[in-house]
Amino acid sequence: MAVVRLEVSDGVGTIRLDRPPMNALNAELTVELRAAALEATSRTDIRALVIYGGEKVFAAGADIKEMAGLDIAGIAAWVRDLTSTFELIARIPKPVVAAVTGFALGGGLELALCADFRVLAENAKVGLPEITLGVIPGAGGTQRLPRLVGPSRAKELVFSGRQVRAPEAEAIGLADRVVPAGEVYAAALSLAGTFVNGPAVALAAAKQAIDDGSELAISEALRLESALFTGLFGTEDRRRGMESFVERGPGKAEFVGR
Protein backbone atom coordinates (compact mmCIF):
# COMPACT_ATOMS: atom_id res chain seq x y z
CA MET A 1 0.00 0.00 0.00
CA ALA A 2 1.39 3.41 -1.01
CA VAL A 3 2.54 5.71 1.80
CA VAL A 4 2.77 8.75 -0.51
CA ARG A 5 0.11 9.78 -3.01
CA LEU A 6 0.02 12.50 -5.64
CA GLU A 7 -3.43 13.93 -6.35
CA VAL A 8 -4.33 16.75 -8.75
CA SER A 9 -7.31 19.09 -8.85
CA ASP A 10 -7.72 22.39 -10.70
CA GLY A 11 -4.05 22.76 -11.45
CA VAL A 12 -2.88 22.14 -7.87
CA GLY A 13 -1.11 18.91 -7.00
CA THR A 14 -1.12 17.49 -3.48
CA ILE A 15 1.61 15.21 -2.21
CA ARG A 16 -0.04 13.35 0.68
CA LEU A 17 1.99 11.50 3.27
CA ASP A 18 0.04 8.50 4.53
CA ARG A 19 2.09 6.40 6.92
CA PRO A 20 0.08 6.21 10.14
CA PRO A 21 0.22 7.04 12.89
CA MET A 22 2.87 9.78 12.65
CA ASN A 23 4.13 9.78 9.04
CA ALA A 24 7.59 8.79 10.26
CA LEU A 25 10.11 9.13 7.47
CA ASN A 26 11.58 5.76 6.53
CA ALA A 27 13.28 4.38 3.43
CA GLU A 28 9.98 3.37 1.81
CA LEU A 29 8.45 6.82 2.30
CA THR A 30 11.61 8.46 0.97
CA VAL A 31 11.49 6.42 -2.25
CA GLU A 32 7.84 7.24 -2.83
CA LEU A 33 8.33 10.90 -1.94
CA ARG A 34 11.12 11.12 -4.51
CA ALA A 35 8.88 9.59 -7.19
CA ALA A 36 6.06 12.01 -6.34
CA ALA A 37 8.42 14.99 -6.53
CA LEU A 38 9.72 13.93 -9.93
CA GLU A 39 6.19 13.38 -11.24
CA ALA A 40 4.98 16.73 -9.89
CA THR A 41 7.94 18.43 -11.55
CA SER A 42 7.27 16.92 -14.97
CA ARG A 43 3.47 17.16 -15.15
CA THR A 44 2.25 20.21 -17.03
CA ASP A 45 -1.22 19.95 -15.46
CA ILE A 46 0.34 20.70 -12.06
CA ARG A 47 1.01 24.42 -11.76
CA ALA A 48 1.44 24.58 -7.96
CA LEU A 49 1.84 22.02 -5.20
CA VAL A 50 0.77 21.33 -1.61
CA ILE A 51 2.56 18.92 0.72
CA TYR A 52 0.17 17.56 3.35
CA GLY A 53 0.37 14.92 6.04
CA GLY A 54 -3.32 14.75 6.85
CA GLU A 55 -5.57 16.23 9.51
CA LYS A 56 -3.64 14.97 12.55
CA VAL A 57 0.07 15.25 11.79
CA PHE A 58 2.46 16.50 9.12
CA ALA A 59 5.43 14.29 9.93
CA ALA A 60 6.80 13.68 13.42
CA GLY A 61 10.33 12.96 12.22
CA ALA A 62 12.49 10.15 10.97
CA ASP A 63 11.80 6.54 11.82
CA ILE A 64 14.19 6.18 14.76
CA LYS A 65 13.68 2.41 14.97
CA GLU A 66 14.92 2.09 11.40
CA MET A 67 17.84 4.47 11.97
CA ALA A 68 18.98 2.98 15.28
CA GLY A 69 20.07 -0.30 13.73
CA LEU A 70 22.26 1.26 11.03
CA ASP A 71 26.05 1.46 11.07
CA ILE A 72 27.96 4.48 9.75
CA ALA A 73 27.85 3.25 6.15
CA GLY A 74 24.16 2.48 6.43
CA ILE A 75 23.20 5.83 7.93
CA ALA A 76 25.34 7.65 5.37
CA ALA A 77 23.33 6.05 2.56
CA TRP A 78 20.05 6.61 4.44
CA VAL A 79 20.59 10.32 4.99
CA ARG A 80 22.00 10.78 1.49
CA ASP A 81 18.80 9.41 0.00
CA LEU A 82 16.62 11.58 2.25
CA THR A 83 18.66 14.74 1.61
CA SER A 84 18.68 14.25 -2.16
CA THR A 85 14.91 13.66 -2.09
CA PHE A 86 14.37 16.85 -0.11
CA GLU A 87 16.57 18.72 -2.57
CA LEU A 88 14.37 17.48 -5.41
CA ILE A 89 11.36 18.89 -3.58
CA ALA A 90 13.09 22.20 -2.92
CA ARG A 91 13.99 22.43 -6.63
CA ILE A 92 10.48 21.78 -7.97
CA PRO A 93 10.09 24.71 -10.40
CA LYS A 94 6.61 25.55 -9.17
CA PRO A 95 5.21 27.25 -6.05
CA VAL A 96 5.11 24.73 -3.19
CA VAL A 97 3.10 25.10 0.04
CA ALA A 98 3.51 22.91 3.13
CA ALA A 99 0.23 22.39 4.99
CA VAL A 100 1.30 21.60 8.55
CA THR A 101 -1.03 20.04 11.12
CA GLY A 102 0.01 18.57 14.46
CA PHE A 103 3.72 17.87 14.63
CA ALA A 104 6.44 18.71 12.11
CA LEU A 105 9.56 17.59 13.94
CA GLY A 106 13.04 16.66 12.79
CA GLY A 107 12.83 15.39 9.25
CA GLY A 108 9.22 16.53 9.14
CA LEU A 109 10.23 20.14 9.68
CA GLU A 110 13.13 19.69 7.26
CA LEU A 111 10.57 18.60 4.65
CA ALA A 112 8.39 21.64 5.38
CA LEU A 113 11.45 23.88 5.02
CA CYS A 114 11.79 22.68 1.42
CA ALA A 115 8.49 24.41 0.55
CA ASP A 116 8.22 28.03 -0.54
CA PHE A 117 5.49 28.71 2.02
CA ARG A 118 4.31 27.10 5.25
CA VAL A 119 0.69 27.21 6.49
CA LEU A 120 0.45 26.02 10.10
CA ALA A 121 -2.49 24.93 12.21
CA GLU A 122 -3.00 26.95 15.38
CA ASN A 123 -2.14 23.85 17.42
CA ALA A 124 0.89 22.83 15.34
CA LYS A 125 4.27 22.25 16.95
CA VAL A 126 7.50 22.32 14.96
CA GLY A 127 11.12 21.79 15.90
CA LEU A 128 14.41 20.02 15.38
CA PRO A 129 14.83 17.72 18.41
CA GLU A 130 17.80 15.76 17.04
CA ILE A 131 20.15 17.15 19.70
CA THR A 132 18.15 15.25 22.34
CA LEU A 133 19.18 12.04 20.57
CA GLY A 134 22.85 12.99 20.58
CA VAL A 135 22.96 13.98 16.90
CA ILE A 136 22.17 17.02 14.75
CA PRO A 137 19.67 17.60 11.94
CA GLY A 138 21.01 15.79 8.88
CA ALA A 139 18.61 16.54 6.02
CA GLY A 140 18.84 20.30 5.68
CA GLY A 141 17.77 21.61 9.08
CA THR A 142 21.04 23.33 9.96
CA GLN A 143 21.14 24.96 6.52
CA ARG A 144 17.58 25.87 5.50
CA LEU A 145 16.43 27.02 8.95
CA PRO A 146 19.09 29.74 9.45
CA ARG A 147 18.47 31.02 5.94
CA LEU A 148 14.82 31.45 6.91
CA VAL A 149 14.95 32.73 10.50
CA GLY A 150 18.57 33.85 10.90
CA PRO A 151 21.61 32.10 12.41
CA SER A 152 21.03 33.09 16.05
CA ARG A 153 17.41 31.89 16.21
CA ALA A 154 18.31 28.73 14.31
CA LYS A 155 21.12 27.94 16.74
CA GLU A 156 18.82 28.37 19.73
CA LEU A 157 16.28 26.00 18.21
CA VAL A 158 18.86 23.42 17.12
CA PHE A 159 20.93 23.59 20.34
CA SER A 160 17.86 23.23 22.58
CA GLY A 161 15.79 20.90 20.41
CA ARG A 162 12.67 22.58 21.75
CA GLN A 163 9.29 22.55 20.05
CA VAL A 164 7.88 25.83 18.74
CA ARG A 165 4.16 26.55 18.76
CA ALA A 166 2.46 28.13 15.76
CA PRO A 167 2.27 31.74 17.03
CA GLU A 168 6.01 31.84 17.72
CA ALA A 169 6.73 30.14 14.40
CA GLU A 170 4.81 32.91 12.65
CA ALA A 171 6.54 35.63 14.67
CA ILE A 172 10.03 34.44 13.68
CA GLY A 173 9.16 33.84 10.02
CA LEU A 174 9.04 30.06 10.17
CA ALA A 175 5.30 30.07 9.37
CA ASP A 176 3.76 32.24 6.68
CA ARG A 177 0.17 31.77 7.86
CA VAL A 178 -1.47 30.33 10.97
CA VAL A 179 -5.08 29.17 10.67
CA PRO A 180 -7.54 27.03 12.66
CA ALA A 181 -6.63 23.35 12.56
CA GLY A 182 -9.60 22.39 10.41
CA GLU A 183 -8.71 24.98 7.76
CA VAL A 184 -5.06 24.17 7.10
CA TYR A 185 -5.44 22.16 3.92
CA ALA A 186 -8.05 24.51 2.45
CA ALA A 187 -5.84 27.52 3.23
CA ALA A 188 -2.84 25.84 1.62
CA LEU A 189 -4.88 24.95 -1.48
CA SER A 190 -6.13 28.53 -1.68
CA LEU A 191 -2.60 29.92 -1.46
CA ALA A 192 -1.30 27.46 -4.07
CA GLY A 193 -4.30 28.22 -6.28
CA THR A 194 -3.32 31.88 -6.56
CA PHE A 195 -0.41 30.82 -8.76
CA VAL A 196 -2.20 28.36 -11.05
CA ASN A 197 -3.08 30.89 -13.73
CA GLY A 198 0.23 32.72 -13.54
CA PRO A 199 3.05 32.55 -16.11
CA ALA A 200 4.57 29.18 -15.23
CA VAL A 201 7.96 29.76 -16.85
CA ALA A 202 8.34 33.16 -15.19
CA LEU A 203 7.33 31.72 -11.80
CA ALA A 204 9.97 29.01 -12.19
CA ALA A 205 12.55 31.65 -13.14
CA ALA A 206 11.62 33.80 -10.15
CA LYS A 207 12.01 30.83 -7.80
CA GLN A 208 15.38 29.95 -9.30
CA ALA A 209 16.58 33.55 -9.12
CA ILE A 210 15.70 33.85 -5.43
CA ASP A 211 16.87 30.41 -4.32
CA ASP A 212 20.07 30.22 -6.35
CA GLY A 213 20.82 33.92 -6.02
CA SER A 214 20.83 33.71 -2.23
CA GLU A 215 23.84 31.39 -2.46
CA LEU A 216 25.87 33.71 -4.71
CA ALA A 217 27.81 36.93 -4.35
CA ILE A 218 25.58 39.87 -5.27
CA SER A 219 27.38 40.50 -8.56
CA GLU A 220 26.90 36.87 -9.64
CA ALA A 221 23.30 36.87 -8.42
CA LEU A 222 22.53 39.96 -10.49
CA ARG A 223 23.98 38.31 -13.57
CA LEU A 224 21.80 35.25 -12.91
CA GLU A 225 18.73 37.47 -12.59
CA SER A 226 19.55 39.29 -15.83
CA ALA A 227 20.04 36.02 -17.69
CA LEU A 228 16.74 34.60 -16.45
CA PHE A 229 14.93 37.86 -17.22
CA THR A 230 16.32 37.93 -20.75
CA GLY A 231 15.41 34.31 -21.39
CA LEU A 232 11.75 35.00 -20.61
CA PHE A 233 11.52 37.18 -23.71
CA GLY A 234 11.33 33.96 -25.71
CA THR A 235 8.13 32.81 -23.99
CA GLU A 236 4.54 33.00 -25.15
CA ASP A 237 3.48 34.29 -21.74
CA ARG A 238 5.85 37.26 -21.97
CA ARG A 239 4.30 38.19 -25.32
CA ARG A 240 0.79 37.81 -23.94
CA GLY A 241 1.58 39.73 -20.78
CA MET A 242 3.09 42.73 -22.51
CA GLU A 243 0.51 42.86 -25.29
CA SER A 244 -2.28 42.68 -22.72
CA PHE A 245 -0.70 45.49 -20.68
CA VAL A 246 -0.44 47.76 -23.73
CA GLU A 247 -3.96 47.01 -24.94
CA ARG A 248 -5.93 46.62 -21.67
CA GLY A 249 -3.75 47.77 -18.80
CA PRO A 250 -2.10 45.78 -15.99
CA GLY A 251 -3.30 42.55 -14.45
CA LYS A 252 -5.52 41.30 -17.25
CA ALA A 253 -3.26 38.92 -19.16
CA GLU A 254 -4.33 35.31 -19.71
CA PHE A 255 -1.27 33.08 -19.52
CA VAL A 256 -0.82 29.64 -21.09
CA GLY A 257 2.24 28.43 -19.17
CA ARG A 258 4.80 28.46 -21.94
Of the residues 130, 193, 198, 206, which is catalytic? 130
32 is catalytic: no
62 is catalytic: yes
Calculate the CA 128 to chain-centre distance.
16
Contact of 99 with 51, CB cutoff 8 Å: yes
Helix extents (H) in the chain: 27-42, 64-68, 72-90, 107-113, 141-149, 151-160, 166-171, 184-193, 200-213, 218-231, 236-248
Of the residues 110, 127, 169, 206, which is catalytic? 110
Of the residues 37, 60, 62, 169, which is catalytic? 62
Contact of 179 with 154, CB cutoff 8 Å: no
Of the residues 13, 53, 102, 107, which is catalytic? 107
209 is catalytic: no
Q: What is the 3-state secondary structure (H, E, C) of 93-138?
A: CCCEEEEECCEEECHHHHHHHCCCEEEEECCCEEECHHHHHCCCCC
140 is catalytic: no
Which residue type is seen at 61? G
Q: Beta strand 96-100 with 103-105: parallel, antiparallel or unpaired? A: unpaired
Q: Which residue numbers are catalytic? A: 62, 107, 110, 130
